[in-house]
Amino acid sequence: MAKEVYRFSAGERFVHWCHGVAFLLLLFTGLGVLVTVFQPAMNIFGGIQVTRNIHRVVAVLFTLGMIAGFIGKGVGARQMRRWFKDVINFRNDDLAHAKNFGIEFFGGHKPFPPQGKFNGGEKLNSMFTILGTLCIVISGYIMWLAPSGPSLLLQWAYPIHAACALFMTALLIAHLYLGILHPDSNQALKGIFTGWVPAKFAYEHYEKWYNEEAKETIKG
């Protein structure tokens, strides 16, 4: 008897993977410009000029995909807006979870107050990602489209773009670990593919959300 509850709608899963795949492609093609020794690797896609163009094409698709995910009355879009509102609302209970996060990260456990649909650690990750994505997108379009020449706008876009790319990559490494390698938290992985997560796992990690919403969707 494998009991599961419904966590992510198709729309949320679409935006997550749109973001993830685009991020990796943009990172790979961006590193060809940032790291000189990495430039030969760009031959996989046909050389540095080709990857510079891929960076731009993927950037546009990435931006449109993100925006589309939030627009409209569909379940997915409503859930995306709910996620946004949830994660920017950071309370004491979230802080209490985030404080214990280091222990969980290394495989220990210390009780934390019941969490909503997104726990304190996830909220922090989400907020960094929202801020970083906004900054990298805006600076990226400036680097691409601003009139060429020595302007402050262009000059400041460079360090911002690079900082977002590198620090979000550091964050992504920890995110991949928790989703794939971490023996406990990786049970969430199924959720972002199929939408369903193990029931007791959901209860233990998001007690408030489980009792208020998820319980009703239980199957199996």
Partner 1 sequence: MARKMVFIDTSLCTGCKACSVACKAWNDLPAEKTQRISSYQTQADFTPNTWTYVRFREEYKDNKMRFNMLKLQCFHCADPACMKACSSNAIYKTETGYTLVDKEKCIGCGYCVANCPWGVPKIDEATNKMSKCTGCIDRVESGIKPACAQTCQPGAIHFGDRDEIMPQAQARVAELQLTNPKAHLYGDNLMGGTTYVYLLQDRPDAYGLPLNPTTPISLTLWKDIVHPLGGIAIGASAAAITVGVIVNFVRGNYANRAKIIAESHDEGGK
Residues that bind ligand HEM (CB under 6 A): 23, 26-27, 30-31, 33-34, 52, 55, 59, 62-63, 136-137, 140-141, 143-144, 161-162, 165
The interaxial angle of helices 75-88 and 48-70, nearest 10 deg, is: 90
Neighbours of 150 (CB within 10 A): 6
Tell me how far, at minimum, the Cβ of 124 lies from partner 1, in Å: 14
- List of residues 6+ apart from 112 with CB closer than 8 A: 93, 96, 97, 100, 119, 120
Q: Counting beta carbons within 10 angstroms of the beta carbon of residue 141, is it exposed (0 to 12), middle (13 to 18) or buried (19 or more)?
A: middle
Query: Residues binding partner 1: what is the number (CB under 8 A)?
Result: 56
Choices 64-72, 74-82, 118-126, 183-191 (CB under 8 A): range interacting with partner 1: 183-191
Cβ of residue 66: shortest distance to ligand HEM, in angstroms?
Answer: 9
| Residue 121-160 contact track with partner 1, rule CB under 8 A, x = bound | ---------------------------xxxxx-xxx-xx-
Identify which of residues 111 and 149 has a Cβ nearer to ligand HEM in the complex. 149
Nearest to 130 by CA among 196, 97, 81, 96: 81
Question: CB of residue 183 vs partner 1: minimum separation in angstroms?
Answer: 4
Of residues 92-111, which lie at the interface with partner 1 (CB under 8 A)?
A: 105-108
State both tokens at 107. Answer: 């495989």
- The tokens of 163 are what? 């900082």
- Segment contacting partner 1 by CB under 8 A, of 16-24, 110-118, 120-128, 166-174: 166-174
Cα-trace Rg, the chain: 19
**Contacted by 204, from ligand HEM, partner 1, none: CB < 5 to 8 Å by type:** partner 1
Q: How far is the CB of 63 from ligand HEM (least distance, A)?
A: 5
Q: Which long-range contacts (CB under 8 A, 24 or more apart) does 212-217 make?
A: 213/117, 214/5, 214/6, 214/7, 215/5, 217/5, 217/6
Minimum separation from the CB atom of position 32 to partner 1 (A): 9
Check if the beta carbon of residue 14 is closer than 8 Å to that of residue 62: no
- Taking CB under 8 A as the criterion, which residues in 52-81 touch partner 1? 52
